[in-house]
């Protein structure tokens, strides 16, 4: 069975701090994809990144970076120099080429000015 765990329910940081959102997944499959989605207060789901299970290279995109470690089944997301506009709920998700994604419960990030 597939499962995604985001142990941090809520995180609050002060603007310009770095923050890391944790994601741990479970799957029996050797081929799968991992995703992060952002849900701002307006409610829509915004795709941020995908990684495939064969590529453990970390990725940086502006202030965002992702650390994929297959050995620990983790796919953590770091925001550097956080901004108030980063305040949102962030969902980690897993897809094993099945028919649907499995989402984690989400982490609510509040960036305070």
Residues lying near another protein in the complex (CB under 8 A):
33, 35, 37, 42-47, 50, 52, 91, 95, 97-106
Judged by CB, which is closer to another protein: 10, or 17?
Answer: 10
Buried-state track 51-60, b at ≥16 Cβ within 10 A, e below 16: bebeeeeeee
Number of other CB atoms surrounding residue 91 within 10 Å: 22
The CB-of-8 to another protein minimum distance in angstroms stands at: 14
Contact 49/35 with Cβ under 8 angstroms? Answer: yes
Judged by CB, which is closer to another protein: 37, or 75?
Answer: 37
The CB-of-18 to another protein minimum distance in angstroms stands at: 26
């Amino acid at each position: 069975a597939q499962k995604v765990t985001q142990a941090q329910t809520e995180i609050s940081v002060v603007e310009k701090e770095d923050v890391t959102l944790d994601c741990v997944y479970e799957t029996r499959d050797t081929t799968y994809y991992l995703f992060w989605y952002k849900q701002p207060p307006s409610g829509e789901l915004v795709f941020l990144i995908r990684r495939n299970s064969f590529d453990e290279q970390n990725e940086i995109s502006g202030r965002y970076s992702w650390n994929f470690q297959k050995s620990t089944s983790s796919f953590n997301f770091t925001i550097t120099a956080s901004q108030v506009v980063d305040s949102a709920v962030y969902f980690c998700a897993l897809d094993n080429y099945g028919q649907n994604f499995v989402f984690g419960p989400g982490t609510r990030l509040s960036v305070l000015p």
